[in-house]
C-alpha cells in the first residue's frame, strides 16, 4: 500500500501547476464574468501536449493512465481554475475512450491525433431532457437511410457545444420495443457538429459561465455509416466503459476545487485582523477548516484508489462511485466553510470562493447525483434490493 504520488505523477502535478500559474485566479474570474471560453488556457494546455495525456502514444498522446489524468485535472482545478479550467479540456482528455477501445484503426488514426493536439474540439452528446439518468430510454433516433443514418432528437447538458466542431453521439438505432435487452439498440457515432442540422442553444446556469452548457436540437442530420464507432446496437456498453473514469476525474477535480477554497480561506484567516488578532487564531475558524481538510484528503484517497484499480484493469465501480460522492460532498463543504470563513468578503467575487462554491455544485450533481450513487452502493455493497 503506497499512498504517495509516484515521481512521475509528482512531476506531472508540478509541471501542470507551473503552466496554470500563467493563468491566475483573476483570469478565471474575468472569463466567468464575461462567459467567454478560456481560449488562451486551452491553447497553452494543448501546445504543451497535455490533452493527449491518456491518448495512446501511436496516436499522438502520452499513453498514461487515468491516475495521471486525475492528477493533472486535480492540479488544474486546484490552481484556482476550478471547473472552468477542468471542464474546458475534460472532453479532449477523457471522452474518446470508446474510440480507443472500439474504433477501427482507420477511425483511431483519423479521430484521435487532432483531438490530442487541440485541433478538433469534441462534445459528448449523450444525456437527454426526457430520460435523465435512465440512459437506456434515450429518445434520439438514428434510422438507416441512404447507406448511413438519419438522426433526429434532443440532447441536453452538452458542454462546449458552442465551440466544438465534433461530437460523440449516442442514439437509438433499434426501437426499445424491438430489442431483447434494454441496453441493446443504442449506437455510438463520432461525427461533425453540423450547425445547419443542429441547433445549439445555450443554457443559462449558476456557475462555470466560461464553459458553455447547451441543448442540442438535431433535425435530419445524415451520418455516413463509417462514422459509427463499433458494432451497431452496442453503444450503451461502449459508453459504460467511460463511466468509471469519468467519475474518477470529476472526483479529482472536486478535490482540487475544495483545496483551492481551503487555501484561500486559510490565507484570509491568517491575514484578517479583528479584535486585534487574526481571525484564524479562533478555534471557531480553525476547527471547521481542519475538519474540511481531513474529509477532503480522505475522499482523495478513495478517488485515487479507484484510479489505481482502474489502471490495473480491476473492477472499480464501487470505489469510483464512492470516491466521486465523497469528493463532491467534502469539496462542497470545503467551499461552503471557506465562504463562511471570509464572512461578508466570501460573498464578493474578488475573493474567488463564491465562484468555487458555484462551480462545486457541478461535481455534486454531475455526472450522477449523490442519491443515485447511494442507491448503487446499497445494491452493490450490501446486495439490497433495487429501490427504483
Partner 1 sequence: MKALVPVKRVIDYNVKPRVKSDGSGVDLANVKMSMNPFDEISVEEAIRLKEAGKIEEIIAVSVGPAKAQETLRTALAMGADRAILIETDETVEPLAVAKLLQKVAEEEQPGLIILGKQAIDDDANQTGQMLAALMDRPQGTFANTVELDSDSVTVKREIDGGLETVKLQLPAIITTDLRLNEPRYASLPNIMKAKKKPLDTKTPADYGVNIAPRLTTTNVSEPPVRQAGEKVEDVDALVTKLKALGIA
Q: Does 206 bind partner 1 (CB under 8 A)?
A: no
**Shortest Cβ 49–partner 1 spacing (Å):** 4
Identify the residue among 2, 7, 178, 383 touching partner 1 (CB under 8 A): 7
| Angle, CA 240 vertex, CA 235 and CA 241 arms, to 5° | 105
Q: Which residue number, 47 or 109, has a Cβ lying nearer to partner 1?
A: 47
Q: Which residue number, 8 or 315, has a Cβ lying nearer to partner 1?
A: 8
Q: Does 18 bind partner 1 (CB under 8 A)?
A: yes
**Shortest Cβ 198–partner 1 spacing (Å):** 33
Query: Total binding residues for partner 1 by CB under 8 A?
Result: 17
Q: Does 280 bind partner 1 (CB under 8 A)?
A: no
Q: Which residue number, 40 or 315, has a Cβ lying nearer to partner 1?
A: 40
Q: Which residue number, 19 or 255, has a Cβ lying nearer to partner 1?
A: 19
Q: Which residue number, 14 or 34, has a Cβ lying nearer to partner 1?
A: 14
Binding letters toward partner 1, positions 150-189, x by CB under 8 A: ----------------------------------------
Q: Does 273 bind partner 1 (CB under 8 A)?
A: no
Q: Which residue number, 64 or 326, has a Cβ lying nearer to partner 1?
A: 64
Q: Does 109 bind partner 1 (CB under 8 A)?
A: no
**Shortest Cβ 62–partner 1 spacing (Å):** 5
Q: Which stretch binds partner 1 (CB under 8 A): 11-19, 86-94, 131-139, 223-231?
A: 11-19
Name residues contacting partner 1, limited to 29-58 (CB under 8 A): 47-50, 52-53
Q: Which residue number, 60 or 343, has a Cβ lying nearer to partner 1?
A: 60
Q: Does 62 bind partner 1 (CB under 8 A)?
A: yes
Q: Which residue number, 45 or 306, has a Cβ lying nearer to partner 1?
A: 45
**Cα 78 from Cα 18, distance rounded (Å):** 12
Contact positions vs partner 1 (CB under 8 A): 7-8, 10-12, 14-15, 18-19, 47-50, 52-53, 62, 64
Amino acid at each position: 500500500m503506497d499512498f504517495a504520488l509516484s515521481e512521475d505523477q509528482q512531476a506531472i502535478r508540478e509541471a501542470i501547476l507551473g503552466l496554470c500559474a500563467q493563468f491566475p485566479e483573476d483570469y478565471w474570474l474575468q472569463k466567468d464574468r464575461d462567459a467567454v471560453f478560456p481560449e488562451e488556457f486551452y491553447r497553452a494546455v494543448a501546445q504543451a501536449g497535455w490533452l493527449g495525456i491518456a491518448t495512446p502514444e501511436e496516436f499522438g498522446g502520452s499513453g498514461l493512465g487515468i491516475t495521471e489524468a486525475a492528477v493533472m485535472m486535480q492540479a488544474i482545478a486546484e490552481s484556482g481554475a476550478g471547473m472552468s479550467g477542468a471542464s474546458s479540456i475534460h472532453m479532449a482528455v477523457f471522452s474518446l475512450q470508446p474510440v480507443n477501445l472500439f474504433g477501427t484503426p482507420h477511425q483511431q488514426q483519423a479521430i484521435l491525433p487532432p483531438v490530442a493536439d487541440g485541433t478538433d474540439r469534441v462534445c459528448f452528446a449523450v444525456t437527454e431532457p426526457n430520460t435523465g439518468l435512465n440512459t437506456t430510454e434515450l429518445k434520439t433516433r438514428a434510422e438507416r437511410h441512404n447507406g448511413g443514418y438519419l438522426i433526429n432528437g434532443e440532447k441536453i447538458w452538452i458542454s462546449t457545444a458552442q465551440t466544438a466542431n465534433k461530437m460523440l453521439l449516442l442514439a437509438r438505432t433499434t426501437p426499445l420495443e424491438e430489442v431483447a435487452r434494454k441496453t441493446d439498440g443504442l449506437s455510438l457515432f463520432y461525427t461533425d457538429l453540423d450547425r445547419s442540422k443542429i441547433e445549439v442553444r445555450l443554457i443559462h446556469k449558476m456557475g462555470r459561465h466560461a464553459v458553455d452548457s447547451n441543448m442540442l436540437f438535431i433535425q435530419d442530420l445524415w451520418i455516413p455509416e463509417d462514422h459509427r464507432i463499433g458494432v451497431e446496437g452496442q453503444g450503451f456498453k461502449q459508453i459504460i466503459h467511460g463511466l468509471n473514469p469519468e467519475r474518477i476525474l470529476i472526483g479529482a477535480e472536486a478535490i482540487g476545487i475544495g483545496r483551492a477554497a481551503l487555501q484561500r480561506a486559510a490565507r484570509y484567516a491568517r491575514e484578517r485582523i479583528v479584535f486585534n488578532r487574526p481571525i484564524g487564531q479562533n478555534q471557531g475558524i480553525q476547527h471547521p477548516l481542519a475538519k474540511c481538510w481531513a474529509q477532503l484528503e480522505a475522499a482523495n484517497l478513495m478517488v485515487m484508489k479507484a484510479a489505481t484499480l482502474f489502471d490495473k484493469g480491476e473492477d472499480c465501480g464501487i470505489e469510483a462511485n464512492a470516491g466521486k460522492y465523497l469528493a463532491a460532498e467534502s469539496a462542497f463543504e470545503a467551499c461552503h466553510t471557506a465562504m463562511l470563513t471570509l464572512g461578508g468578503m466570501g460573498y464578493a467575487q474578488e475573493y474567488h470562493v463564491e465562484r468555487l462554491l458555484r462551480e462545486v455544485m457541478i461535481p455534486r450533481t454531475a455526472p450522477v447525483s449523490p442519491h443515485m450513487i447511494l442507491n448503487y452502493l446499497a445494491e452493490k455493497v450490501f446486495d439490497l434490493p433495487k429501490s427504483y
